[in-house]
Amino acid sequence: MAMIMTPHINAEKDAFGKTVLMPGDPLRSKFIAENFLENAQLVNNIRGIQGYTGNYKGTKVSVMASGMGMPTIGIYSYELFHFFDVENIIRIGSAGALQENVKLRDIVFGMGACTNSNYASQYGLCGTFAPTASYALLKEAVNQADQIGATYHVGNIFSSDVFYNDSNDANEGWQKMGVLCVEMEAAALYMNAARCQKNALAILTVSDSIVTGEKTTAQERENSFTQMMEIALNTAHVL
């Protein structure tokens, strides 16, 4: 099998499963590979991004980090969709709650992804594009969440280009519009999937609350958000 060398991935053409789970953190990729996948092999480590492929309940599944922000997930998802025949990318990440009823460690499924990014400008659209999840992935992931009794929310999320915002009230408008949480990647992933006619979904675990100020530790974010991981893996298994 021929090697494919992109600027960010160096792997064999068939190195990845048709479904790739994408956490932001490379250490979360490693954790999933070591704790959930059978016969996991490191298939890409350009820039330390750590991409693994193994078996989950007999299904070939891959997990590879995206890094932080829309430019990075935009690069990795583009290359996976275009050069490695990946059909589905499920982002599994952390998010900050924007609503009082969205609690620490709750699961959020991003049905749509609002954004302050200019990512969509590349498409030359005469209007505003609404990035949305693939319904088939969303439907199955919610089904899997029901089966394990997870506490979850389905709705609009906010993909921000800014982590340290100069404005103290930057989130108020999104809260007012009922947006569930804020993260930094899903909108670009959804746009890439739409352009490639592929499938994407963001499954998020609430790591902190903009409303209450509660937060989890970096170590907890790395290896304790296992419900989200199980939902994504079980979804990949039945696709």
Tens digit of pLDDT for each residue in 226-239? 999 999 999 999 98
Is the model's pLDDT at 1 over the cut of 70?
no
For residues 88 and 199, the answer to whether their CB atoms sit within 8 Å is: yes
**pLDDT tens digits for range 194-213:** 999 999 999 999 999 999 99
Average pLDDT score over residue span 81-108? 97
CA gap 155, 228 in Å, rounded: 16
The Cα diameter of the chain in Å comes to 53
**pLDDT tens digits for range 117-150:** 999 999 999 999 999 999 999 999 999 999 999 9
Is the model's pLDDT at 34 over the cut of 80?
yes
Q: Could you confirm whether 166 is annotated as catalytic?
A: no
What are the beta bridge partners of residue 20? 62, 89
Residue 232: both structure tokens together: 């994504």
Specify the pTM. Answer: 0.95
Output the DSSP codes for 192-215. Answer: HHHHHT-EEEEEEEEEEETTT--B
C-alpha dist (Å) from residue 144 to 97, 109, 205: 22, 12, 15
Give the active site residue among 14, 25, 85, 208: 208
